[in-house]
Structure 1
Amino acid sequence: MGLREELKKLSPDEAKERIEKLREQIEYHNYRYYVLNDPEIPDSVYDQLLRELMILEDLFPQFYDPNSPTQRVGAEPAEEFAKVEHAVPMLSLQNAFGEDELKAFDERIRRMLKRTEPLEYMCEPKIDGLGVELVYENGVFTRGSTRGDGYVGEDITQNLRTIRSIPLKLYGDYPPLLEVRGEVFLSKAAFEELNAEREREGLPVFANPRNAAAGSLRQLDPRETAKRPLDMICYAIGRNTLGVSTQAELLKRLAQLRFKTSPLNKLCRGIDEAIEFYRSAIEQRHELPFEIDGVVVKVNDFALQDALGQVSRSPRWAIAAKFPAEQATTIVKDIEVNVGRTGVLTPTAVLEPVRIAGAVIQRATLHNQDEIDRLDVRIGDHVIVERAGDVIPEIVRVLKEMRTGKEERFSIPERYPVCPECGSKVVRFEGEVGYYCIGATCPAKLREAILHYASRNAANVEGLGEKLVAQIVDKGLVKDVADIYYLKKWQWASLERMAEKSAENLMEALERSKKLPLARFIFALGIRYVGERTAEILAEHLGSLDALKSASEEELQQIPEIGPKTARSVYMFFHDENNLKLIDKLLAAGVAPIEPEKPKDKEQLPLYGKT
């Protein structure tokens, strides 16, 4: 008699008891295999347990449970991802490049806390993957989402269910609500295997493991995600429902609850020990089974974390120490230019593809004509290209000894006497290093301005990408950035590759983008010399858009980290009639920058002066 016939003899109560037992056993063995990497049973025995459970669930469908291990194969495809608001924002980290910046980070926070003795730091490898949040209610995994912009992510619950290192149910002592955060990634071996399979199937390969993990998680069909061996390492929580008081305690509790944590984590006393950990990670990075692009250094004590607080979108109590740049040799095939939102023509080297730091590099910035002349880079040259983390690759040296005499010099004014986009004259202003298109209606400027405004770290208009922006500009549907809020649904729907549903989704994304922190609004405006960090500083110190508009050049220069050039640029921007009209038009469309909470004075910090 076969197994199925035997199981048919069970009563519903007996079947329920056996199903629950099998689910618990299988999840335990998943934990041993996928989290601890220490299986207790051979694969054949595991397969037998899973087969028995699948038969029982088929015979007794009344005991269906979406969190059963049999459901990890993937649910039915979704039409789109719903939006999820994070109860506690998933903040991004500021970066440190090198040991000196790590020391400066330590000095800065000890000064804020009035501490002279060394602080305890939890040091963790910075896994190069995709940040996600898992929500458990009464021990059951109920929702999973991407980090998104830190405030709102996408619901990818069904896709996350397919990852076997993520527990679908918790065992032991757990709170009614638990929000666990971590990084989803592909191991190096899994990445190579996935790309080999895609090559066999004639599909384009992924450039690096991070792109592969992100693409896998954002599949609308969870069954496709289930085919990819994704993994997850956990390192944080949202609301502190575990009652822990340090990062070390948190990691220990997560491990007790069967979440996978990094075995490389180390508690360091003082910044010197943290720097030793950083050095060790640099040496070991290529031997690890997964890609890391740095080390995260966190103040261990949660009370001190609370005292330090945050700056706009980043905590003051943690920093990402990035690894030094990696280099490779390749050939310059051509030099092209693109026209930016200010009209500047930026040259870019088109390269023979080369792999650096886990990514395939085909282009490198050349910044401006002065940089081309300084490097003496020519079309056909062999060059050394450098890439550090997410920084745009750049050429650091030309291998002149490898020249054949056939290499071609490149000059922006000779190749592009007029703008390649609009045909307007290209000029170089006195005191400037760049060449500029002076066309007032240059479509490239408008395209880049809209793309910048809509970008993830600015207004974050999801779904408004290059192809759509090119269409609305080329068709004359928009004359400035604010016009994107005034287009009707039918106008979006009339564009190529846009259906009614896509237009509706974009309208919703535009509506969501209207409420954004003041710092992101300032950044979105595209003010010259104002990047994300400068925008955060301006928002934190001035507190409102009105204060920014009325600030004098001298007042702006009094703000820490704001130099004369930036102060002049900001002052001129907010005293230009056209810019003020654009801002008024954005506000009239319903854009509502959210003013930051007033920053704490040092004396107001809970632990100020206590040592």
Structure 2
Amino acid sequence: MAVMTTTDAVIADDLAYAEAVETAVKAAAAYYAGGDSALDDDAYDRLVRAIVAWETDHPEQVLPESPTGKVAGGAAEGDVPHIQPMLSLDNVFSAEQFATWAASLERRIGRPVAAWSVEPKLDGLAVAARYREGKLVQLITRGDGTAGEDVSHAIGTLAGLPETLAEPVTLEIRGEVLMTAAQFERALAVRTEHGGEPFANPRSASAGTLRAKDRPYRLEMTFFGYGCLPLPAIDAALAERLSGSGHSDLMAYIADLGVHTTAATQVPARTATAVEEVQARVEEIAALRAELPFGIDGIVIKADAAADQQAAGSGSRAPRWAIAWKLPAVEKVTRLLNVEWNVGRTGIIAPRAVLEPVEIDGSTVTYATLHNPNDITRRDLRIGDQVMVYKAGDIIPRIEAPLAHLRTGTEQPIAFPETCPQCGSGIDTSEQRWRCERGRDCHLVASVSYAVGRDQLDIEGLGLTRVVQLTDAGLIKDFADLFTLTRDQLLTLERMGPTSTDNLLAAIEQAKSRPLSRVLCALGVRGTGRSMSRRIARYFATMDHIRNTDAEAMQKVEGIGVEKAPVIVAELAQLAPVIDKLVAAGVNMTEPGATPPSADGAEGAMALGPLHGMTVVVTGAMTGPLEKLSRNQMNELIERAGGKSSSSVSKRTSLLVGGEGAGSKRTKAEDLAIRIVSPDEFAELVADLLL
């Protein structure tokens, strides 16, 4: 049920129709073969809708290779048969179209739909994961819907798809593989570092990565389950147990088995009993689209009850009890005004596009990423070009392509820097990403400002102006030099009297006692941030153990893969002089409550804290003893107390800390009968750690 929209192209004649079919077939083939299609999901959908419109008016001219009416546009193939067909979804694009579809479904089953499940339509690649006695044994792509490609080589690489379930059951879990915003940005960096062309978008990146077997690097992806298929012939007991379970019940079941579902996101699936409720939920999810850490291209609406699904049945391409409400594309055309060259904390020289302001997905975009100089050359970008700008989730907007056919002849080539724009030193151009030859020393002010920030060393009184003063005066060459500053040195600076000097020295002294995770974060190692620094510190317990580890041992830390581990180890080696100065200055190099891993590599145990084994969600404004803590500091506090911090409420949540203005998360916690405490009550629970 593909419905034309006002933005769809119109095919004028049979020649244009043939060209459109050829373009669609090539795009689908490229996507399902390697994930490198030039068309994103929305552009492909619009093209196919135009083809459908032409074929509806000219049924006698339908070409046999047309992608219409075929799962995956007829492009995907596979040799592993599916237990049940793995179908696509039909689409609607408005409240009116959904109401019409819902009414037709209720006429088909002869009664009102008992309940609707409403969940985000994740923009990734559908796969089937087969478990035998709780062990993941096979991964299969959707393929043509009847058979798919075996991609079991990807087992162990997908976050959210455990290799062992919480129960030894035999079943098939179907879901979507995608890259989150953070994973996609990391994938772009890793791919270009290895000489590859940047991925077109997160969806094609996921498709290509899932199939890749011979790359010299690995990229992280995430799995979200959306279906559960019991296997009566193999596990009759489970099939009987789940018999008659609706969609929402099945999703709750696989979540309890340890599989990611949308229940763990900011937009969990919910049920509604009326069409108006469905429409309200669609609007709610659409409004959150720009804030999500992963791409969505619509909302999936399903008849939730098994009886309603069975009564509706399925067609050859799509089930009749489910529909995809597609959202508008998150791309617009605007003009490239300029290119700025910025230097990061590690010396990376990154181009940034300056755009004529354009509104995309509810926000005004004035800048976009350009990845690296090779990317600019490959795309033949020029100042003054009309460009297609793409945005999805929290990913920084990026330029998809110049519209060369709109050029007027006034466009100018983009000038590349010959020396470092920050310090004037030479540029190392030996890799895809250019770097200042001085590396970290190039951007000393930014590096030090980051290190003393609230979520790192938290040194009060060291704002940007003061850091500039210290560097200009030659008093610091890196942030470790802060710990050897003397009172006499500080008094020589402008606007530094005795009181402000003593206060700053006291704040620096206090920073010496920060936990190792904060110190590690302050170092600014590529591939680590606040949460990853906490994981590394908790695993190794001391800086000595971190510095003495190799890439293989570093991979044992949750979230660190084969491509990230050697980068972290190498950067720590480069930072040895800074770390040595920190140690000599008496800065703490241990993580409270953590013990080092054993000689055989087994992870050390954290001391049992008051939140041991608990999953804690924090929402609303904190007050009392917690008032000055940032959300990151709250997460750090939870983990030091033995708990696990989470951003979403689910059945696995143990405790919710509800501050002022707590909204939907508190409501959901109440619905799930989860324990809720005030900031003051939580402060009492972790009182020993607040001292």
Give me the TM-score of the superposition, normalised by structure 2: 0.40
Q: Which one has more relative contact order, counting CA pairs under 8 Å at least 6 apart?
A: 1
